[in-house]
């Protein structure tokens, strides 16, 4: 699956999960709703789990759910979790005639990617839910202990905290 389809499919899956944050969603149920193969959904959920955006439980009543509130998950978090690489691919051709042109194009591409990442960073799942007319559940996503908690999720603006090797939003 192309990176851009993985990104949009991951967003849609997370939005579906956000509408019922306490429920464990099976890959089969999500795949049916997204009209895709459950294997595609399982691979996405695995990747999102490694990025700590979803938690999963095995077994007959298992599935996946959001690891934190939809107000705390930005599109940039999802984009980065999928490690999509460069948005705009650069030419690999090396010639003296195009060297300066290549530098100029790369500069434009870097600026465009920064603008995109800035926009993705300012958009949360909760904002998408509101824009799409879906209803997000009022209860917050469960904490690691499995209990629901109202944290800094009341703010639309995600906050960053450092947790080891990489900063995460809370």
Looking at the 3D structure of the chain, how many domains does it have?
Answer: 1
pLDDT tens digits, one per residue of 64-108: 999 999 999 999 999 999 976 666 766 677 788 888 888 888 889
What's the CATH number where 50 sits?
A: 1.10.10.10
- Beta-bridged to residue 142, according to DSSP, are 148
Q: Please give the Cα distance from 121 to 152 (Å, whole number).
A: 17
Over residues 2-7, mean pLDDT: 70
User: Is 40 within 8 Å of 71 (Cβ atoms)?
Assistant: no
With vertex at residue 56, the alpha carbon angle to CA 77 and CA 28, rounded to the nearest 5 degrees, is 95
pLDDT tens digits, one per residue of 109-154: 889 989 998 999 999 999 999 998 876 555 444 444 444 444 333 3
Residue 95 belongs to domain spanning: 3-169
Predicted model pTM:
0.71
Over residues 140-169, mean pLDDT: 42
Residues 6+ apart with CB under 8 A from 1: 9, 40
């Amino acid at each position: 699956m192309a990176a851009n389809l993985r990104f949009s499919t991951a967003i849609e899956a997370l939005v579906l999960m956000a509408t019922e944050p306490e429920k464990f969603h099976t890959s089969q149920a999500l795949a049916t709703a997204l009209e895709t193969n459950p294997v595609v959904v399982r691979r996405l959920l695995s990747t999102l789990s490694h990025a700590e955006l979803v938690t999963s439980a095995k077994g007959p009543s298992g599935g996946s759910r959001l690891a934190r509130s939809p107000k705390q998950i930005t599109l940039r978090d999802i984009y980065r979790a999928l490690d999509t690489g460069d948005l705009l691919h650069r030419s690999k051709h090396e010639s003296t005639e195009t060297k300066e042109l290549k530098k100029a194009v790369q500069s434009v591409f870097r600026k465009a990617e920064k603008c995109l990442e800035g926009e993705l960073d300012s958009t949360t799942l909760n904002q998408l839910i509101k824009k799409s007319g879906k209803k997000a559940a009022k209860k917050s996503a469960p904490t690691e202990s499995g209990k629901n908690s109202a944290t800094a999720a009341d703010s639309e603006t995600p906050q960053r905290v450092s947790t080891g090797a990489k900063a995460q939003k809370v």
